[in-house]
Chain A
């Protein structure tokens, strides 16, 4: 158990809909990261927050947005869903926002868009 929790575990929804994925980082960790794992794209970094502020952005679509709240939990919002958004979405956390720190991954949320 990494100490990172993600809800829900599974999500099935229809095209065009909007969903919210939730992540609670390990106690004391200030950085939260979101990754997408799909068969065709592999594991891709989406976005990082550090202590409530956006720190880095990766291949995140404009239809996707995220935020980190004062209690440090984070939410990833996916809207106007398409079939290609079906993937495993991981949240990770680390103690700091600098380089080299271990990222602890949650169990993921499996999103299926039908």
Chain B
């Protein structure tokens, strides 16, 4: 079975500082990897995804993530955060032949002025 672990439930950071949100996954077969963001009282929005190819993936709003197969990680990074990045971030995986998203427990990013 597949599982996703988000190591930090909350990450406080000051505006314009860099941030990394950590995600590790467990799977005996190949998976696709995703990061979704959920702003307060809204649905989820895709930030980026890794299907194959270059392990460094760029997404929307200046976010990027790096797939590391040996460490089974897919950490999300942003070099300089804004107040508007305050939200809940979810890492997720699917098997390569299905669409069933398996989510981590989420990381709440709180950006302070």
Contact = CB atoms under 8 A, between A and B. Distances in A.
B45 to A, nearest CB: 7
Q: Place the interface of chain B in its size category.
A: 20 to 34
Interface residues of B, dominant DSSP: loop
A35 B102 CA distance: 10
A102 B46 CA distance: 7
A58 B2 CA distance: 13
A48 B45 contact: no
Contacts, number: 62
B101 A103 contact: yes
Contacts of B97: 98-99
B105 A105 contact: no
Interface of A: 2, 4, 31, 33, 35, 42-45, 48, 55-56, 58, 90, 92, 94, 97-108
B99 A101 contact: yes
Contacts of B49: 100, 102
23 contacts: A4-B43, A33-B99, A33-B101, A35-B101, A42-B103, A42-B104, A43-B90, A48-B100, A55-B99, A56-B99, A90-B44, A92-B43, A97-B99, A98-B99, A99-B94, A99-B98, A100-B51, A100-B96, A103-B99, A105-B36, A105-B43, A107-B43, A108-B43
